[in-house]
């Protein structure tokens, strides 16, 4: 039972040393020490997708390295809790990049691929484009199933934003013109969130507000905050906990008003 706390202590010592003076040697030691975390997440995700476990494991180590490089031991957060979103996020990004925008059944993917070869063979034999009935007969499937596989593959292809979706008298409307500006909407939502947070923050007691701003905005340690506002580090932690709860209570009525 004493082995696990010893490993945690060694891991934190290495993290502190790396934070003070980063080096490839220390980083590699930290990677080896936390390899089990990567394998655990890769094992779990591999059961939810078709990608090999080994590929997910390799990608997960990239996320682990990013977590090691960005972890700040003075924040009082467990490294495993900090690293999991980086590791898992890297694997999910990999899966998104490897997959198409629209998923279609593997059966239809295989059928469409075989149908393309049959089409070429029949076209060469007949000297013309074969019909769907002829292709389906050659494949040994119904015409309906062959047409469904073709339609699924066609719908998987991206549509150009310049494609005309409606025609006015003098000017056609393209697909791109009907889409909202997502960047503008994102900026608008972020600004609304910022204003709500700022309003909730302004309602806190001065020292509580300062503690939250110093820790979460200026990225200071609780010890540094304690020295600045003249209280103990434990008091800083209590003020942050109480202040966050108060902000949640301030924000909840606003969230209920804005939710559809």
pLDDT tens, the chain, 260 aa long: 444 555 567 788 899 999 899 999 999 999 999 999 999 999 988 887 767 889 899 999 999 999 999 998 888 778 888 899 999 988 888 877 665 544 556 677 788 888 888 989 999 898 999 998 999 899 898 988 888 877 766 655 554 556 554 555 555 666 555 555 556 556 666 777 777 788 888 888 888 888 888 888 888 898 998 888 888 989 989 988 988 888 888 776 554 444 44
**CATH code of 131's domain:** 1.10.10.10
Give the predicted TM-score (pTM) of the model: 0.41
Q: Quick one: 83 and 51 in the same domain?
A: yes
Q: Quick one: 13 and 78 in the same domain?
A: yes
- Number of domains, the chain: 3
Q: Quick one: 227 and 241 in the same domain?
A: yes
Q: Quick one: 217 and 137 in the same domain?
A: no
**Range(s) of the domain holding residue 223:** 182-258
The secondary structure of the chain, three-state, reads CCHHHHHHHHHHHHHHHHHHCCCHHHHHHHHHHCHHHHHHHHHHHHCCCCCCHHHHHHHHHHHHHHHHHHCCHHHCCCHHHHHHHHHHHHHHHHHHHHCCCCCCCHHHHHHHHHHHHHHHHHHHHHCCCCCHHHHHHHHCCCHHHHHHHHHHHHHHCCCCCCCEEEECCCCEEEHHHHCCCHHHHHHHHHHHHHHHHHHHHHCCCHHHHHHHHHHHHCCCCHHHHHHHHCCCHHHHHHHHHHHHHHHHHHHHHHHHHHCC
């Amino acid at each position: 039972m004493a082995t696990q706390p010893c490993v945690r202590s060694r891991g934190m010592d290495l993290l502190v040393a790396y934070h003070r003076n980063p080096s490839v040697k220390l980083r590699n030691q930290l990677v080896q020490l936390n390899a089990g975390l990567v394998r655990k997440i890769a094992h779990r995700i591999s059961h939810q997708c078709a990608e090999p476990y080994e590929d997910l494991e390799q990608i997960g180590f990239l996320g682990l390295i990013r977590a090691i490089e960005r972890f700040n031991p003075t924040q009082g957060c467990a490294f495993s809790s900090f690293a999991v979103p980086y590791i898992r996020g890297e694997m999910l990004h990999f899966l998104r990049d490897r997959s198409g925008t629209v998923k279609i059944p593997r059966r239809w993917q295989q059928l469409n691929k075989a149908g393309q070869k049959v089409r070429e063979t029949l076209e060469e034999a007949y000297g013309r484009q074969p019909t769907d009935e002829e292709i389906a007969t050659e494949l040994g499937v119904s015409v309906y199933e062959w047409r469904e596989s073709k339609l699924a593959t066609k719908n998987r292809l991206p549509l150009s934003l310049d494609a005309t979706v409606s025609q006015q008298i003098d000017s056609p409307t393209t697909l791109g013109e009907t889409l909202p500006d997502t960047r503008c909407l994102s900026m608008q939502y972020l600004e609304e969130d910022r204003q709500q947070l700022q309003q909730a923050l302004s309602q806190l007691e001065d020292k509580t507000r300062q503690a939250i701003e110093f820790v979460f905005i200026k990225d200071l340690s609780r010890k540094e905050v304690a020295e600045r506002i003249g209280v103990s580090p434990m008091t800083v932690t209590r003020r942050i906990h109480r202040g966050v709860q108060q902000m949640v209570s301030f924000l909840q009525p606003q969230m209920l008003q804005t939710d559809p």
